[in-house]
């Protein structure tokens, strides 16, 4: 596995580290043990990036698709179903979720362009 851009590599490490620190902060300050799941996933991703594991691209793709596209997409669908059920639409609450989906899609595009898997020859 090879990163085509050093800038992308370091931004990825910084981004994952910031998310990891944020979740550690949430765990310590609120005691919400649900934060252990993202902490575990982000630690595995960060270690995978740092050692340049051959499946890093796949790990990052799955992480982006599940946590940045599918999960918020389901939240949007749920809110739309609430609207159909007669409750009013909370547009202000929908914006951050839509932004998260956009970030996930942009992340997938950047991932495709900046990480190259080396084939065994």
In angstroms, rounded to a whole number, what is the distance separating the alpha carbons of residues 89 and 75?
Answer: 13
> C-alpha distances in angstroms, 83 versus 15, 92, 94, 98, 105?
35, 14, 12, 16, 26
The two three-digit tokens of residue 19, written as one number: 């998310």
Q: What is the pLDDT of residues 69-116, one digit of tens each?
A: 999 999 999 888 888 877 777 778 888 999 999 999 999 999 999 998
Reported pTM: 0.84
Q: Residue 12 CB: number of other CB atoms within 10 A?
A: 22
pLDDT at 121: 45
């Amino acid at each position: 596995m090879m990163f085509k851009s050093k800038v992308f590599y370091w931004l990825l490490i910084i981004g994952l580290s910031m998310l990891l620190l944020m979740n550690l902060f949430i765990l310590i300050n609120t005691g919400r043990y649900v934060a252990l799941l993202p902490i575990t996933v982000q630690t595995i991703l960060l270690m995978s990036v740092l050692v340049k594991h051959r499946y890093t691209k796949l790990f990052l793709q799955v992480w982006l698709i599940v946590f940045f596209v599918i999960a918020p997409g389901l939240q949007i669908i749920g809110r739309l179903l609430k609207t159909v059920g007669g409750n009013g639409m909370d547009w202000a609450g929908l914006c951050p979720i839509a932004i998260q989906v956009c970030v996930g899609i942009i992340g997938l595009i950047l991932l495709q362009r900046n990480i190259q898997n080396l084939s065994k020859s």
